[in-house]
Chain A
Amino acid sequence: MIGALLAIWQADTAFPSGGFAFSNGLEGLAAAEGAFSADDLEAVIEGALRRRWASADRLAMVRAFDRAMDLDAVARVDHEVETTIVSEPFRAGSRRNGASLLASHVRIGTPGAGEWQALVRAGRAFGHLAVTQGVVWRGAGLDLTGAVLASGYMTISNYTTAAVRLGVVGAVAAQTIVRHLLPVLAELAASPLPDRIESFSPRLDVAAARHARADLRLFSN
């Protein structure tokens, strides 16, 4: 039971992790494509789940979780993440979001968080979000199933929260999308892990690249 509660604790948007400041390409997409329906939003999030989270973020988190007792091995996963994220705004966002999550866990005293932060500060790791999740969630006592579900749920909720703030969709309508996507997340979470970290989301990559050059923006990426 505690495993489920720990996963809820970490997936709760009330847990300070910095995620609210990242739209992960959505602000750029909404700006570029004008009218953006709830169906469009759902399709974007499902695409991000299937072709970014399931094949890249999930794998990186699981590998870091499995190796959390050997932070040098975790750092190698982290370097792989750095080299496999094509888009610079996504890469920078992942590092900053990871640093924010780490800032909370270091102060809470989560086992392993201080050591992982020291490695990042020493320049021996980048501290990407998915990798940092693996380290601190293992230290915090989550089980692997809960950690995978928390990671996937946060991917959905970060997008829908950003969409509400961008005025793409209302707060209640956003929860309809979340409900639709929960079975997708359950299916993907139960699917076999791929052999290597890979993602394919060119539409979001291009949108994030355009967004990075925008004068006016609410979100970091």
Chain B
Amino acid sequence: MLELSSRKVSGASQASAARIGVGGPVGSGKTALIERLIPVLRGRGVDLAVVTNDLVTKEDAERLRRSGLIDPARVLAVEAGACPHTVIREDPTLNMAAGDDLEASFPGLELIIFESGGDNLASTFSLDLVDWWMFVIDVAGGDDIPRKKGPGVLKSDLLVVNKTDLAPYVGVDLEGMLTEANAVRAGKPVLATNARRGEGVEAVADMICRAVLFHA
């Protein structure tokens, strides 16, 4: 007979893999960035897995599973119940359970990446779910996004400004956008990437390694 005990099992003591979040608006390049990060991090010896939160399909999960970049069993999809922010903030338990499943399935797992469904500038990750999170915006969304100071822009541990190559085609002053982003974030890091070409991805990987993996 198993008896009930009052032993407290905290998330911190139970979890062994670092958990990070990747959030941001629809189409900002979250999945593309993860596709670029996977080989870079694996090349550094990081044992990782991914949980996606597609809003209405499993497209992001299927895209990663078929990419050949990662064992498809290491990619789980969690439905967002029509609320992409709920599943990462107000009620992250489905994601937490998915992370627990991955840790149980892959002993030695060091990093779990939670990709949010596309949301708005107010989305943030619960620290129940992740240890660290980045917010991905892109130049085509408009250079006024940093000025709007949404919680995602302000509170994330790293702000990524993606699709830098598109700046001249959408009338965006990239340098000015990055200057404003740095100004509103009061010293928190901002990185520019062109995920499609892999530019800036090593710097994002460096930051993840330093922040949660304690790799040099």
Contact = CB atoms under 8 A, between A and B. Distances in A.
A19 B90 CA distance: 12
A71 B1 CA distance: 7
B83 A20 contact: yes
Given A17-B93, A20-B86, A219-B82, A106 B4 contact: no
B206 interface: no
A156 B188 CA distance: 44
Contact of A217 (B4, B56, B86, B93): B56
Interface stretch (B7-15, B37-45, B144-152, B166-174): B7-15
With a 10 A CB-CB cut-off, give which of B4, B83, B86, B91 has the most chain A CB atoms: B4
B6 to A, nearest CB: 5
Could you say which interface size class chain A belongs to?
35 or more
Contacts of B81: 20-23, 162, 165, 218-220
Contacts of A215: 57
Contacts of A19: 91
B2 interface: yes
Consensus secondary structure, chain B interface: loop
B4 A69 contact: yes
Interface in B68-107: 78-83, 86-87, 90-94, 96-97, 100-101, 104
Interface in A203-221: 215-220
Nearest to B78: A21
A19 B91 CA distance: 9
Given A114-B7, A217-B79, A101 B93 contact: yes
B211 interface: no
A104 interface: yes
Interface string A13-47: 01011111111000000000000000000000000
Contact of B97 (A99, A138, A220): A99
Contacts of B94: 18, 21, 96, 100
Contacts of B101: 99
A178 interface: no
A18 B9 CA distance: 20
Contacts of B91: 16-20, 100
Contact of A111 (B1, B4, B82): B4
Contacts of A114: 5, 7, 9
Contacts of A71: 1-2
Interface in A67-116: 68-72, 96, 99-104, 106-107, 109, 111-115
A15 to B, nearest CB: 8
A69 B3 contact: yes
Contacts of A96: 94, 97
Nearest to B2: A71
Interface of B: 1-11, 14, 55-57, 78-83, 86-87, 90-94, 96-97, 100-101, 104, 128
Given A20-B87, A100-B96, A218-B80, 14 more contacts: A20-B86, A21-B80, A22-B81, A103-B96, A104-B96, A107-B11, A109-B9, A115-B4, A119-B2, A138-B4, A165-B82, A217-B57, A218-B56, A218-B79
16 contacts: A16-B90, A16-B91, A16-B128, A20-B83, A69-B1, A71-B2, A96-B94, A100-B93, A104-B96, A107-B10, A107-B96, A109-B6, A138-B4, A218-B56, A219-B79, A220-B79
